[in-house]
Amino acid sequence: MKNNIIRLTALTAFAAISFTACKKDKVTTPEPVEQELITTVRLKVTKLDDMSIKTFTYKVENGFGSTRQGTVTIDSVKLAANKEYSVEVELLNEKETPAEDVTKEVKEESNEHLFVYQSSPTTGNGSIGFGMGNKDGNGNPFNQTIRFLTAGAGKGAITVTLKHEPTNKAATTPDATGGETDVEATFPVVLQ
């Protein structure tokens, strides 16, 4: 009887020690790295008339996934009316120094990605029409580079959407393409 109690007490004491013993071991707090972070969409726009180059930036400092967006920079896309432009979209992670070029990865997986462009208004002054874009490895649209055909002078907006694993690459609106949105950037447009 007594033996049992002694046994239990000893075990309790032992357990209590082992319980508190594991207290101050180091907890390494990992550097949180947002996977696949994109902070910046850059449009590199070349005027076909004179091959002059302009860049427009859409940047949310903390990209995606953070609860604080940080500084948001959105350039107005100022272009000449009734001209044709060759456009290349670049994606960057500027949280890294030097900035990481995410475009490369997206290009490598062009089969699983699609850039979709929308103009508001869709036609008329201030609108932009979209010409042919580049293709993915299977010959389907990828549109990382594309032609812009500006309409008459006016104000509007364009939205650049990057879709991951779209179900229909021939579609021209983000809903119809299916898949998940990786990037959605809306630039104000001024055509002069």
Partner 1 sequence: MYRILIAVCIWLFAHLPFASAQDNCNIIVQCRVVETHNNQPLFPVSVYIDEMKREFETDEDGRFQITNACAGIYHIHFHATGYEHLVKELKIEGNTTLKFSLAHIDKELDEVVVADEHTKTIIQSKSQLRRMDITANSGKTLGDMLQAVNGVSVLSNGATIAKPVIHGLYGNRIIILNNGIRQEDQQWGSEHAPNIDPFLANNITVLKGAAGVRYGTDAIGGVVLVEPAAVRTMQGWGGEVNLAGFSNNRMGVASALLEHGFKYIKGLGIRVQGTLKQGGNYRIPGHWAANTGTRESNYSATLAYKKAHFGAEVFYSHFNTELGVYRGAHTGNEKDLLFAINSDTPTIRAGFTYNIARPMQHIRHDLWKLKLNADNRAGAFSLVYAYQHNFRQEFDVIRGNTDKAQLNLTLNTQTLNLNFDHKAIGHITGQIGIDGIYQENYMQDGDRLFIPNYRSPGVAAYAIERYRWNKLTLEAGLRYDYRHYEVYNPEGNNQAIVRYDFDYSNASGTIGIKHKIKPNWEWTATLANAWRAPQANELFSAGLHHSAARIELGDKNLQPEKAYSLNLETVYNVPDKLHLEASLYTQYINDFIYLSPGADILTIRGYFKSFGYKQTNAWLNGADIAFRYNIVKPLEANLKASFLFARDVTQQDWLILMPADRVSAGIKYTFNISKSLKDVFVGVDGRYIFNQWRIPANFDAIDNPRPPAAYTVLDAQCGVTIYVNGQPLYTSITIMNALNQQYRDYMDAFRYFINQPGTNVVVRFRVPFNFYGLKSKN
**Contact residues for partner 1, defined by CB under 8 A:** 1-2, 4-5, 7-8, 11-12, 15-16, 19, 22-23, 27-36, 38-41, 60-67, 69-70, 72, 105-106, 109, 112-113, 163-165, 167, 174-175, 178-186
Q: Provide, rounded to whole angstroms, the least separation between the CB of residue 122 and partner 1.
A: 17
Structure tokens at 67: 């609860």
Nearer to partner 1, 46 or 93 (CB): 93
Identify which of 43, 89, 41, 37 has the alpha carbon closest to the alpha carbon of residue 63.
37
Residue 113 Cβ vs partner 1, minimum distance, rounded to whole Å: 8
By beta-carbon proximity to partner 1, the closer residue of 156 and 174 is 174
CA distance readout (Å), 105 to 43, 91, 101, 110, 184 = 17, 10, 8, 9, 18
Give the residue from 122, 123, 111, 172 showing the smallest Cα distance to 146.
172
Instruction: Cis check for the bond before 174: say yes or no (omega within 30 of 0).
Output: no
Choose between 81 and 171: whose C-beta lies nearer to partner 1. 171
Q: Which is nearer to partner 1, 65 or 152 (CB)?
A: 65
